[in-house]
Structure 1
């Protein structure tokens, strides 16, 4: 599945979908006219309410990130400007701010938090080498 939904996360599921689609578009993993998984497929795969997925897709459509294709579903909209590194970093910032807050609340020293972040980056890259997007 294209998405990695964490039902135990404090981040609402619809927001997880929105942010993941935005990141996939910004990174070039989703290209213009690429079809998104249907509302029904996402809801069934993650055992979530279809209205949650629909809400996320509606927000993405309103933002101009995706378009509705009659009789087919949703697809990535044509984006004139390729996301710059600065744009990508701004998409990353909220997640890092949340992680920094958790680290501070737990009293984890900065160097240890940074080391863990680097380890997580390496783990993710290793997982990506063995997986492909559907």
Structure 2
């Protein structure tokens, strides 16, 4: 299994609240198999300092994920992916999680008058760029 990411990709300029970004990223990382049962998450303090955000925001996200059964609190250690959390490796389930972002991209491309083949090429370049960054 690939090593879990050290930090989240927090983007304060997005309309999506920061706590929601954290929740959704953890959900995707578990569904994608990048985080598995027992894997520890960065501490609330660590995430808050790294991204210059309020610790209560991170705590809220972690608490929601705990209530969902995806995370469990470990006394003296912090939060970890719950033992009962199951990564959804079914391709359809993961693609369903991606669908809202794909639809948003398609709408934006259409509004900008960008042809479908150009949109697909731009997405392909972005995916390659991310993969190169991950391998660096």
TM-score, scaled relative to structure 2: 0.87
Check if 1:99 corresponds to 2:67.
no
- Structure 2 unmatched runs, 5+: 1-5
Check if 1:49 corresponds to 2:57.
no
Q: Which moved more, 1:105-114 or 1:79-88?
A: 79-88
**Moved segments of 4+, more than 4 Å:** none
Matched residue SS, 2:79? strand
Work out the CA distance in 1 between the residues paired with 2:37 and 2:68: 15
- Aligned match of 2:17: 12
- Structure 1 unmatched runs, 5+: none
- Aligned match of 1:125: 131
Distance 1:93 1:19, change over 3 A: same
Matched residue SS, 1:119? helix
Work out the CA distance in 2 between the residues paired with 1:80 and 1:73: 17
Give the drift of 1:80: 5.9
RMSD over equivalenced CA pairs, Å:
1.5
Distance 1:7 1:19, change over 3 A: same
How many residues of Structure 1 are paired with residues of Structure 2 in the alignment?
Answer: 130
Work out the CA distance in 1 between the residues paired with 2:57 and 2:12: 12
Work out the CA distance in 2 between the residues paired with 1:127 and 1:81: 28
Q: Is the CA contact 2:71–2:80 (under 8 Å) kept in the aligned structure 1? A: yes
Work out the CA distance in 2 between the residues paired with 1:53 and 1:128: 24
TM-score, scaled relative to structure 1: 0.88
